[in-house]
């Protein structure tokens, strides 16, 4: 299973916690992780130590100053291009990879998502539109100018069809889109993905593969009362701790706080063996 991350030194512990949760709940599946970074991370030894102890193959992907001439501002730093153009820096023999944010836990088997049929699409991802409303979804289509897209997709969990992406996703198109739309882009790389390629996404259920941990009450209402805590533990694969309030912070009081801290604790135990 090929997994893609884009991080800096501030979230290495979170990366390892995510990896531990994947390995526990997707057993007997070899993991190759590709970690995009500008330059060698200061905590590389911690990553390699964890990977050596858990038989994970670690592949650092160095970007350097590749995007020094790309359009950037305080709102659009060069790091937005890492995920958008990851295919340019990954091995050519990879045909698929699953991108994950590091503010997630995997609590059931990830393999069915990884092996999903793209059905001719470049990406597979979930939308959180139902958690907001249909009006918000329509506004996003208008704002980004992609009326063919079925929905507005969250790019924090995104399966990538690399052969198709290599053919159709080009740096110049992205640079031009950002220049033309920079005043309307709120979440730069996610907005670009939706604006340019939103019509080439396969939609996957967010209650399974990108469950917004802030929204338990709304999910339960949408599921007619069935999507309660027991249902989530049995069925949800990816818990995503969206927003500013993060479970590794001491003040976090969300419903899944104890679950996250359990995986984080066990990750430390592996490192200290």
The domains found in the chain, sorted by start residue, are: 2-271 (3.90.550.10)
Separation of alpha carbons 131 and 69, rounded Å: 38
Separation of alpha carbons 128 and 51, rounded Å: 32
Note the maximum CA span of the chain: 53
Q: What is the pLDDT of residues 206-248, one digit of tens each?
A: 999 999 999 999 999 989 999 999 999 999 999 999 989 999 9
Q: What is the pTM of this model?
A: 0.91
Q: What is the pLDDT of residues 93-116, one digit of tens each?
A: 999 999 999 999 999 999 999 999
Q: What is the pLDDT of residue 76?
A: 59
The yes-or-no verdict on residue 149 having pLDDT over 70 is no
Q: Which residue has the tokens 């592949």?
A: 59
**DSSP-derived 3-state class of residue 70:** coil
Q: Please, what is the Cα angle at 154 between 248 and 147, to 5 degrees? A: 160
């Amino acid at each position: 299973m090929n997994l893609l991350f884009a991080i800096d030194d501030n979230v290495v512990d979170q990366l390892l916690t995510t990896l531990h949760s994947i390995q526990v709940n997707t057993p007997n599946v070899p993991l190759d992780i590709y970690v995009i970074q500008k330059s060698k991370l200061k905590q590389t030894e911690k990553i390699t130590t964890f990977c050596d102890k858990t038989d994970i193959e670690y592949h650092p992907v160095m970007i350097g100053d590749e995007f020094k001439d790309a359009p950037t501002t305080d709102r659009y730093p060069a790091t937005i291009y890492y995920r958008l153009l990851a295919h340019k820096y990954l091995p050519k023999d990879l045909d698929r990879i699953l991108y994950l944010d590091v503010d997630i836990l995997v609590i059931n088997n990830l393999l069915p998502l990884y092996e999903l049929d793209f059905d001719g699409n470049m990406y597979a991802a979930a939308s959180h539109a139902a958690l907001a409303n249909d009006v918000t979804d329509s506004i996003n289509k208008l704002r980004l100018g992609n009326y063919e897209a079925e929905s507005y997709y969250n790019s924090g969990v995104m399966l990538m069809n690399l052969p198709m992406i290599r053919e159709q996703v080009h740096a110049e198109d992205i640079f031009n889109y950002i220049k033309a739309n920079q005043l309307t882009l709120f979440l730069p790389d996610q907005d670009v993905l939706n604006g340019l390629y939103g019509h080439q996404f396969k939609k996957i259920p967010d209650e399974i593969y990108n469950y917004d941990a802030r929204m338990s009450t709304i999910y339960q209402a949408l599921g007619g009362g069935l999507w309660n805590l027991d249902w989530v533990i049995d069925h949800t694969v990816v818990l995503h701790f969206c927003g500013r309030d993060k479970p590794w912070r001491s003040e976090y009081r969300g419903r899944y706080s104890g679950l996250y801290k359990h995986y984080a604790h066990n990750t430390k135990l592996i490192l200290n063996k």
